[in-house]
Amino acid sequence: METGTVGREGGSAGDRAWSIETNGINPIPDAERHGRPLELFWIWFAANISVLGMFYGLALVTFYGLSLPQALVAGTVGTVASFVLVGFISLAGRRGGAPTLTLSRAPFGVVGNALPTAVSYLSLVGWETILVALSSLATQAILARLGVGGGKGQLAVAFAVVAAATIAVGLLGHATIVKLLTWLIWVFAALTVVFFVLELGQVDRDKVAGLPSGDLLAGVVGGASVVAAGLGIGWINAAADYSRYLPHRASSAAIVGWTVLGASLGPVLLIAFGVLLAANNDQLAGSANLLGALAEPLPTWFLVPYLLVAVGGLLAGAVIDMYSSGLNLLTLGVRLPRYQSVLIDGAIMLAGNIYILFFAPDFVGPFQGFLITLGVPLAAWGAIFLVDLARYRWREGYDQAALYDPAGRYGAVNPAALVAWVVAVVIGLGLVTSTASLFSWTGYLLGPVGGKQGAVGASSIGLWVAFVLAGVVYAVLAPLSARRSARADR
């Protein structure tokens, strides 16, 4: 069986705070299961109480042209609906005891699962790169206000500090992440409230009330789509990674409830506040250093504490991404201890940040394109995983040995899942428009419905089409595949 572990496995030593976690993608033994569902609240709250929440609020007004009520609806629906998916996928972690994309071998087959795992890996590494870049820019803003250094040298120092902290916590693993975030979350929340109070002076109530209404499809649906892609859809491939240590007796309702509440609470409030700020300053959403721009009017006495906490919020997300991306790498078949897989991810993240911070001419456009484009295959994968969980795994459970054996119960390839995923991805990507030049080839099915500039093209509805289509096609094809496998076994 693949484990990707070093040293002693099993027992509490495999997942101990402030020491390197030795569990890899192996199922967590019953003796090592621990914790309560409430821990998921702290993890997901910390991962999502960052400045990116305000960016989505700014974007809903600046890029999607929504009024206050429309933006609040789009932001809330996109946030909560997408995190409900994270909550339900978290149940698979408690059920099977293995990481998310390892459990995904049940519907896709041990070998066939490599395709969605590769996409998941790219998404996680992309996210950790973006979050570290934003953290580095925020740290640079702190150094600039303190008068330390200047220019690219100042940014290089900020980047070195942020990257080292992210890699270090990612190396230590699950127990350290839970412990650290549980401590820091109160500071994050308290200083964010103070930030709201200090920034209220930047809100023009008349301009907020006078925001014009946007288009329902291109504006509200499009805004909800980008929020969902950036929040819950961006996390579904990591959901079970943080619930797999929970005991089998842990309440399903508590797992889903604490996950959705913890993940949604911060973004809903931050998005709302971002909408208020955008009404008075439509330049914020396109700022190259959003944290620096938001911090500009703050008094010096509060600036450094707030930016430090803002950096911490971004790094919390980056650490969680790095931990899960390392597990994805092991699921792809890389035979290394988990901590070494984190170092590989760290090297890729470093290279990506060097390009973004020191060479890329634009940040916001590629970021939006990244969200939607990778959101489509992740949404399609999530639908297949959830249908499989509901129809088969909830009743039968996971055959843990078969997750690591191409000749086992799940086989090498499950055509039903792969066909459903590929069909949904091809159609979904044809119905979205990416603002990044790298993904300009998307939207190839939009011609008959107004093209890329039309309401359908701006709505990113391909994200939802991919989700629904993948789930329906898999639900239809899975029983046929199961009957074929049963005949082959006889």
Residue pLDDT, tens place only, 381-398: 999 999 999 999 998 899
**What amino acid is encoded at 46 in this protein?**
A
Q: Is the predicted pLDDT of residue 429 greater than 60, yes or no?
A: yes
Residue written as token pair 């890729």: 348
**What amino acid is encoded at 43 in this protein?**
I
Q: How many whole angstroms separate alpha carbon 213 and alpha carbon 203? A: 19
Residue written as token pair 């399609």: 380
| Nearest partner of 32 among 20, 16, 47, judged by Cα | 16
**What amino acid is encoded at 203 in this protein?**
V
Q: Is the predicted pLDDT of residue 2 greater than 60, yes or no?
A: no
Q: Do the Cβ atoms of 158 and 139 come closer than 8 Å? A: yes
Residue pLDDT, tens place only, 142-154: 777 777 766 777 7
- Strand, helix or coil at 434? coil
Cα dihedral 148, 152, 155, 160 sign: negative
Residue written as token pair 């914790």: 35
Among the residue ranges 43-52, 175-184, 242-251, 454-463, the one predicted with the least confidence is 175-184
| Nearest partner of 200 among 269, 123, 277, judged by Cα | 277
Residue written as token pair 């931050």: 270
| Nearest partner of 254 among 96, 48, 36, judged by Cα | 36
**Tokens standing for residue 472:** 């329906």
Q: Does the pTM of the predicted model rise above 0.75?
A: yes
Q: How many whole angstroms separate alpha carbon 69 and alpha carbon 74? A: 9
Q: Do the Cβ atoms of 463 and 228 come closer than 8 Å? A: yes
Instruction: Give the model's pLDDT for residue 482.
Output: 63
Residue pLDDT, tens place only, 292-340: 777 777 777 777 777 777 777 788 888 888 889 999 999 999 888 887 8
Q: Is the predicted pLDDT of residue 93 greater than 90, yes or no?
A: yes
**Tokens standing for residue 296:** 């500009």
Could you state, in order of their start, the residue ranges of all structural domains in the chain?
A: 29-375
Superfamily of domain covering 29-375? Hydantoin permease (1.10.4160.10)
Inter-axis angle of helices 338-358 and 151-172, nearest 10: 160
